[in-house]
Structure 1
Amino acid sequence: RQWVILAVAAVVQAALCLVAGRWQWNRYESREAEIDLIENNWSAPAVPVDEILPGPGAVVPDSDIWRPVELEGHYVTDATVLLRNRPVAGRNGYHVLVPFEARLPDGQEIVLVVNRGTVPLGRDARGPDAVPDAPSGDVTVVVSLRADE
């Protein structure tokens, strides 16, 4: 009787190992596909934003995440937001998020949130000591598209 229980346990253990191995392989494959997508899109030439986002409310297609696009418009600096507790390179700080009103060739305007980088915590950690101002007036910027969080 003990041998039967041991044999059944061994078969169950082997089946679980096969399932776990298959899960790991699928995870590896999906991770490699995502890395390839990012590498291909990151190094692609910048295109006008309307080639990927045809108008207001458009969603970034999965195939275009990290794709560089060129925007013409202006920053809405009075709507700047500091996103706190986002570590970068092992240091806590704030992401500086600024809305950008971009004009499309057909005259429509879309608003995209541009992450202008990070600023470190200030001396008392309640906020940064200084936040660099976004450029004023009309500008042309090249940004990488990301999906909504």
Structure 2
Amino acid sequence: MKKTIKVVHRTCAILAFLTIACFFTSTLISELFASQQAVATVKSVISYAVWGLIPLMAITGATGAKMAPHAKMGVGPIGRKKKRMPIIAINGLVILLPAALYLNSLSSQGDFGSTFYTIQAIELIAGAVNLTLMALNLRDVLSMKKSV
């Protein structure tokens, strides 16, 4: 059972990281090199795909908590991961999800004004923060494997 939880945790964490990285890179590439129609398509795809990301993040958090219920927040590699996860979750639910939905709405109407680009900048910053925090979580796991 413990091995299954570990595999589910690892799989969901990797898929979540790759999904966010895909959202981030597709946004950057479309904004820098593609037409507004392509940007609108990217925003539309993200607004649908984000509903698959949410369960991945929830499963990652739940399985992580199950594997290390007594880890102290901020202490050791697991504690550092435990400290980062609420930031990742709040960032995702309070900034990234609403931004994705709002940007999709604006772009589907062809509204690429200052509001769109302001929200887009906020979304990219929040996405970069989550990718960084998730990469730090991965680093901490790899450091544990090296020391074992």
TM-score computed with the length of structure 1 as normaliser: 0.31
The structure where helix makes up a greater share of residues is 2
Larger radius of gyration: 1
Larger RCO, structure (CA 8 Å, separation 6 or more): 2
TM-score computed with the length of structure 2 as normaliser: 0.31
